Amino acid sequence: MITVLDIDENNFNDVFKVCSIKHLDDPTFKKGIELKQRWIKENLTKYGPFIKIAYYNNTPAAQIMYYPETAIPYYKYPRQRVIEIFCAYRSLDDAKGAGTILLKNLIDEAKKGIKCLDGEPCSFLVASPFNTGEGTSLREYYLNNGFQESKSELYLELNGKYYPRKNETYENPILDKGKALIFYDMNCEYGWVFAVNIEKILRDIDNSLEIIKINKWNNPTESIKRGNATVTVNGVTIKSGWRTPEFQSEVKKALKM
């Protein structure tokens, strides 16, 4: 039996039993979890619940995280009454269908009025799916549940017509010459883990490089100035995923090696 609950101050740690159950003793993950715990507590107070957890026979099996665009500090041009779905993930194989149940639960609430918008209905939902390499791709997951594609994201119209968000741009890349900047998100424990791994890769390429890790939620202005890039090297945005060979090629090109 699958049941869906919004997170609150009593059950929010169940999120980590979905996403990071295999890594709870890893020191790097522990720091990422601590960052996310603080982030959850702060935003629960500000906006109310913004994560739903599916339980299969009382065991945390899947979760979906979402929040109003206006709550994201590093968006210079947020859209009103628009909710962005950051991620959806199912960890328990026995709970097939839990992800769809979570998404439909969110859609139903967003249509009528959702707590994180002070009970107001949502105009439309958006998502920028990433590949986890497990099961059904997130892109298929959203498309199978009624989402449509635009140039930059997937969307589902609920009470209003979709329009794209104006994106931030790199304001002054010349100021970042000779530096590598890594921006990480507090909303995911993997954000810190990825930042640590990216730093290791960069040091293997050029150990003399000045590397700075920046928390996007605590320093949103710095992220906005770089067009919300994840990694910049020598004033150049690195677009490839950090686990790919293309990432190292882009870094070396940016360093003119």
17-31 residues labelled b (16+ CB within 10 A) or e (exposed): bbbbeebeeeebbee
pLDDT of residue 224: 97
The domain that holds 148 is classified in CATH as: 3.40.630.30
Query: Same domain, yes or no, for 199 and 119?
Result: no
pLDDT of residue 132: 61
pLDDT of residue 134: 58
The domain that holds 201 is classified in CATH as: 3.40.30.10
What's the domain count of the chain? 2
DSSP string, 10-52: TTTTHHHHHHSTT-TT-HHHHHHHHHHHHHHHHHHHHH---EE
pLDDT of residue 140: 92
Residue 103 domain-assigned (yes or no): yes
pLDDT tens digit string along 204-237?
999 999 999 999 999 999 999 999 999 999 999 9
Distance from C-alpha of 152 to C-alpha of 6, rounded to nearest angstrom:
29
End-to-end CA distance of the chain: 57
Residue 164 domain-assigned (yes or no): no
Count of C-beta atoms within a 10 Å radius of residue 35: 21
Query: Same domain, yes or no, for 43 and 141?
Result: yes
Residue 86 domain-assigned (yes or no): yes
Instruction: Identify the domain boundary among 93, 128, 157.
Output: 157
Residue 133 domain-assigned (yes or no): yes
pLDDT of residue 253: 96
pLDDT of residue 93: 74
Mean pLDDT taken over the chain: 94
| Residues in the chain where the model's pLDDT stays below 70 | 95, 132-136
Distance from C-alpha of 109 to C-alpha of 119, rounded to nearest angstrom:
9
User: Rounded to an integer, what is the distance from CA 45 to the centroid of its chain?
Assistant: 20
Range of the domain at 206: 173-254
Count of C-beta atoms within a 10 Å radius of residue 56: 20
